[in-house]
Chains A and B, each alone.
Chain A
Amino acid sequence: MKKIGKSRELNSFLFLAGLIFLVGLVNRSFWQPTAIWNCFNDSVVFTLLSAGIAFVILTGEVDVSIGAVLGLSAAVGAALLRDGYGVVTASAVALVIGILAGLVNGVGVALFHIPSLIFTLGVNGVVRGMIYVYTKGAWVENLPAEFTRMSNRMLIGNITVFYGLAVFVIVIGHFILTKTKKGKYFIAVGNHAAGAILVGIPADRTKVTAYVLCGMFASAAGMIYASRIGFITPTAGNGYEMKAIAACVLGGLSLNGGVGSLVGASIGAVIMSSISRVLVFLGFSSDYDNTITGIMLLTIVVINTVIQNRATENNRRRILNARTVGKGEEEK
């Protein structure tokens, strides 16, 4: 099991490396460190979103409200900053929004056993509407320059502070998920919920935690979005939930739950958000963006599933053969 998980992340990483290599073959200027690092730096919003939703996907559920949660946290946080509050206050309020949205989602899905897609869909509508109520349909603009400048500040070399921070959080998250007892609950619940409950894992509480974490990551992504873009429209983050799910799938997570990791999800996010940049370097118009994303997603998922199904089938056949052979010998 562990091997499969590892090879899945490795596959996504190799895919990303291959992509960078191939694009560099066509256009040499892509091989410069700044161009490659920018692929990573620009993916920071999607990296956080995908890592957040990865907690939920690992438990076998899904959350389509994160785009709206990102938008609402960005709008509220940015408005607070504009009105003269500090970055810490604004970020804290944004995080509270994410936690609340996550709690509502978690309670609905885990306690009421409502299919997650449907429940989070409803929450998505309500949160998206709240953005309009809060902003009255107007843009949130005129953010303090020191806040928008934060997105350009470098940590080391070509890595921005935000991306460094995201990587740091994800590495810690990855460590918690794979090394600690409570962290392993997430994958256990996603792998086999009934079995996890039987061995005494609090499945409901784990799912609620996953949703709360997902909401917090979405809020953090919202604040970074605000800093990078500099203004918030009421439609901010619209459709991001689908892209984050797609990034997780590209990163080797299974929507059935129990398979994948945060690192995989964040690699998927880099692939996902690099496509339009790569297209520019290849000399295509960015109009091909969605088409390529769609083809890539379908190809990877279909090939993955077919290979996996074949492996399971072969395994079953081998077990069956072993049994019948054994019986034949006994009869002799």
Chain B
Amino acid sequence: MKTPVWKKWEFVLSLILILEIIIFASKNSKFLMPRVLFGSMNDIISICIISLFVTFVMVTGGIDIQAGSIVGLSSIILGVAWQDGGMNIWAASLIAIAAAGLCGGLSGYFIAYCGVQPMVITLGGSFLYSGIALLVSNLSATESYKGISGFPDSFLRLSKVKLFGIIPSQVMIFLILAMLAYVLLHKTRYGRQVFLAGVNPRAAEYSGIYTKLVIMSTYILSGISAAIAGIILTSYLGTAKGDIGATLTLPIITAVVLGGTLSTGGKGSVPGTALAAVVIGTLRFGLPLCFKVSQQYLDIPAGLLLLVVVTGRAVLDSPVLKGRFLKSNMK
């Protein structure tokens, strides 16, 4: 019963995506040029990457609104460790990833082992980690609003290299991470445990799963993914700043929910999230290019898309509402 519904949802998402591409391409043929199309991915790649792993968190019934601030924190840690700590850039990246994992782990510990609501903890976390990011940036000799720049070429190349001369390395990283997340969530024992922890934590506990550990691990994963996104973003922009992830929180949640993950837990899929992230990304990229919609207005179509989709799904999923709004179908 469950599997067809999922399949259907990802099918709907693919249809939306195809529809978007057809509309945009018919309006402006430039849209289909691979260089333009892939170039657009640069702006949304961090949303894509993080939402993959926030899916894990939401499948366990949690929520993660701190990922955006961890992006900034890892970026500034990377910058300070490299510039003021005199470290190798890759060692600095590893430190940033470790710190982000630690941040995720701390929040995850409070949520899993102390039983506090995930929303409150990650809200506190978003304040704490963005605050720490500001303090770390004060350690640097560069003023915080300027950001740290002048990174070595090898690091900048992380986001500039193109496979076959077309596909940017960010897209490759996203695809690899998406594969990884897919296998981890849908093909491994660990993934089953994540689902069970979301469906019924008590049953999971009684069947010998360390539910708390599993829940905590999902927050560590989302923290690490935020750090990866932060590093890629730093490389793409060429500057390390403490607040580069501040606006990402809401798009990330939108992508995960649009991808069919239930915010109450127990249901969700990585391909759905990946597709939804691309759907949002295409919308945000196509509207300005093809319909001259100003960049600032893009919250409206993105918000409307989310509202229409969740309302539509709510009507279709609930027999009561279906009866109320689609009476003719019932007879």
Which residues of A come within 8 Å of B, CB atoms? 62, 108, 111-115, 117-119, 121-130, 132-133, 137, 234, 242, 245-246, 249, 255-256, 285, 287-295, 297-298, 301-302, 305-306, 309
Report the Cα distance A291→B306, complex, angstroms. Answer: 32
Report the Cα distance A301→B107, complex, angstroms. Answer: 12
B310 at the interface (CB under 8 A from A): yes
B300 at the interface (CB under 8 A from A): yes
- Please state if B135 and A133 are interface contacts (CB–CB under 8 Å): no
- Please state if B307 and A293 are interface contacts (CB–CB under 8 Å): no
A137 surroundings in chain B (CB, below 8 A): 294, 296
Least CB distance from A327 to B in Å reads: 25
- Please state if A245 and B304 are interface contacts (CB–CB under 8 Å): no
Interface residues of B in 296-327 (CB under 8 A from A): 296-304, 306-307, 310-311, 314-315, 318, 321
B138 at the interface (CB under 8 A from A): yes
- What 7 additional pairs, Cβ within 8 angstroms, besides A118-B263, A125-B254, A125-B300? A118-B253, A249-B120, A294-B125, A294-B129, A295-B128, A297-B123, A301-B121
Contact bitstring B239-269, A, C-beta under 8 A = 1, else 0: 0000000000010011001000001100000
Report the Cα distance A114→B123, complex, angstroms. Answer: 21
A291 surroundings in chain B (CB, below 8 A): 127-128, 131-132, 134-135
Report the Cα distance A282→B85, complex, angstroms. Answer: 30
Ordered by A's residue number, 16 sampled pairs between the chains whose C-beta atoms are within 8 Å are: A62-B119, A108-B311, A112-B310, A113-B318, A118-B257, A121-B254, A125-B250, A125-B254, A132-B294, A246-B127, A249-B120, A287-B134, A295-B124, A297-B124, A298-B128, A302-B116
Label chain B's interface by main secondary structure. Answer: helix
- Please state if B302 and A125 are interface contacts (CB–CB under 8 Å): yes
Report the Cα distance A39→B318, complex, angstroms. Answer: 48
B233 at the interface (CB under 8 A from A): no
Q: Which of A121, A125, A127, A297 has the most CB of B within 10 A?
A: A125
- Please state if B127 and A294 are interface contacts (CB–CB under 8 Å): yes
B114 surroundings in chain A (CB, below 8 A): 302, 305-306, 309
Report the Cα distance A245→B121, complex, angstroms. Answer: 12
Interface residues on chain B, number (Cβ under 8 Å): 47
A108 surroundings in chain B (CB, below 8 A): 307, 310-311
B150 at the interface (CB under 8 A from A): no
- Please state if A124 and B303 are interface contacts (CB–CB under 8 Å): yes
Interface residues of B in 121-178 (CB under 8 A from A): 121, 123-132, 134-135, 138
- Please state if B110 and A118 are interface contacts (CB–CB under 8 Å): no
B28 at the interface (CB under 8 A from A): no
Report the Cα distance A1→B112, complex, angstroms. Answer: 26
A129 surroundings in chain B (CB, below 8 A): 296-301, 303
B26 surroundings in chain A (CB, below 8 A): none
Least CB distance from B279 to A in Å reads: 15
B115 at the interface (CB under 8 A from A): yes
- Please state if A122 and B307 are interface contacts (CB–CB under 8 Å): yes
Least CB distance from A208 to B in Å reads: 15
Q: Which residue of the partner chain B has the closest CB to A308?
A: B115
Least CB distance from A54 to B in Å reads: 15
A301 surroundings in chain B (CB, below 8 A): 116, 120-121, 124
- Please state if B314 and A113 are interface contacts (CB–CB under 8 Å): yes
Report the Cα distance A246→B299, complex, angstroms. Answer: 24
B301 surroundings in chain A (CB, below 8 A): 129
B117 at the interface (CB under 8 A from A): yes
B120 surroundings in chain A (CB, below 8 A): 249, 255, 297, 301
B304 surroundings in chain A (CB, below 8 A): 122, 125-126
Report the Cα distance A114→B127, complex, angstroms. Answer: 27
